[in-house]
Amino acid sequence: MSGGASIVLGERAASSPARGFPIYAWSVLIYNLAVILWGALVRATGSGAGCGGHWPLCNGEVLPTSPQVATAIEFVHRAMSGVALVTALVLAGWGWKAYAPKHPARRWAMWALVFMLTEALVGAALVLLGHVARNESVGRVYSLSIHLINTFLLLASLALAAWWSTRPALARPAKLTRDSRYQLAAGIVAMVLVAMAGVITALGDTLFPAHTLAQGIAEDFAATANFLIRLRIIHPALAIAAAILLAVLAVRQLRRHVAGPLRTLSSLMLILLGAQLAIGTLTVLMKAPVPLQLAHLLAADGLWIALVLFTSERLQSGRPAA
């Protein structure tokens, strides 16, 4: 970013209230990744009904007595989510005090709180509607898709709050070309669609595990198979197409031979794309063991965060990718 083209919004961004905010913001983001992984463990182990149909209580109790394993797993997730809500409240309050009204760190900290609240509401709805454990209804697919989109919005808000807490912001960024805007939008949409298909695939693998790879492939194309199984083939197809699109975006930026955040984020995207493809292949070959499912999810979340920050930087710089 050239100094002559940028206008820093508010001198308060560098004042004492902002000291420590970046570290805290990144810590909140990392903590939420842990919460998401634990939530995936709840789904993978079928522990979503561990607290029965009660929310926010667990089996009608504040603290479950003599809990079963499923109850303990679900209760820990609820406790972690409660802590996450408190950290989001602190982040929003701190960002409001530390940064000027138009500073992106302040704006995204407030959005993070909004999406944290909706995350809690969606999580409650999953329990109250019974879209947990062995439920294989179409309604659960819709619920999980909504949950996934909200989680992505939450991660994006947290990442942007942390990212822009240490960087100057342009009051009037340069405009991107129409093609560049379309490419960035396509990358975001592709990533969301792949993640939604991944949620459906993971649910199918949990409810209808295949004993062998050949059995799993045969079930994917069987007319009598459950719809969750027949939808599994969509995920790898979308993943390959999205990987090509994101790789093109990253490589075009690297070809500019310019140092800075965009180059770093482009390299990170390529690394995470490679990790995703490798872990995804192993997950299929090894019949989706839980550790690989969690690793696949973590890499996907990391790739989403890198893509969001890459897009934000491109929108600020306004420079063509090639």
Residues 198 and 267 grouped into a single domain: yes
Residues 95 and 125 grouped into a single domain: yes
Give tens-digit pLDDT for 251-271: 999 998 777 899 999 999 999
Q: Which residues pair with 58 in a beta bridge?
A: 61
Give tens-digit pLDDT for 46-72: 888 889 888 888 988 888 887 799 999
Residues 64 and 183 grouped into a single domain: no
Look at residue 16 in the predicted model and tell me its pLDDT: 67
Residue 192 predicted with pLDDT over 90: yes
Write the CB contacts of 127 (distance below 8 Å, at least 6 apart in sequence). 48, 51, 53, 54, 55
| Strand, coil or helix: 58 | strand
CA distance 257 to 111: 34
Full residue range of the structural domain in which residue 34 is found: 13-169
Residues 135 and 240 grouped into a single domain: no
The amino acid sitting at 62 is: V
Confidence of residue 142 (pLDDT cuts 50, 70, 90): very high
Q: Is residue 94 part of a domain?
A: yes
Distance of CA 148 to the CA centre of its chain: 7
Q: Report how many domains make up the chain.
A: 2
Confidence of residue 319 (pLDDT cuts 50, 70, 90): very low
Residues 192 and 298 grouped into a single domain: yes
CA distance 120 to 122: 6
Name which of 68, 66, 67, 207 is nearest 132 in CA terms.
Answer: 207
Residues 322 and 312 grouped into a single domain: yes
Residues 162 and 195 grouped into a single domain: no
Determine the average pLDDT of the residues in 292-299: 95
Q: 235 or 321, which is more confident?
A: 235
Q: Among the three residues 118, 142, 169, which one is the final residue of a domain in this structure? A: 169
Q: Is residue 6 part of a domain?
A: no
Q: Is residue 31 part of a domain?
A: yes
Residues 218 and 316 grouped into a single domain: yes
Question: First vs last Cα of the chain: how many Å apart?
Answer: 17
Confidence of residue 314 (pLDDT cuts 50, 70, 90): confident
Confidence of residue 89 (pLDDT cuts 50, 70, 90): very high
Q: Among the three residues 129, 154, 169, which one is the final residue of a domain in this structure? A: 169
Residues 98 and 36 grouped into a single domain: yes
Q: Among the three residues 110, 143, 169, which one is the final residue of a domain in this structure? A: 169
Residues 141 and 267 grouped into a single domain: no
Residues 225 and 247 grouped into a single domain: yes
Residue 25 token pair: 């913001």
Q: Is residue 8 part of a domain?
A: no
Residues 282 and 295 grouped into a single domain: yes
Look at residue 174 in the predicted model and tell me its pLDDT: 53
- pTM comes to 0.87
Q: Is residue 2 part of a domain?
A: no
CA distance 313 to 261: 8
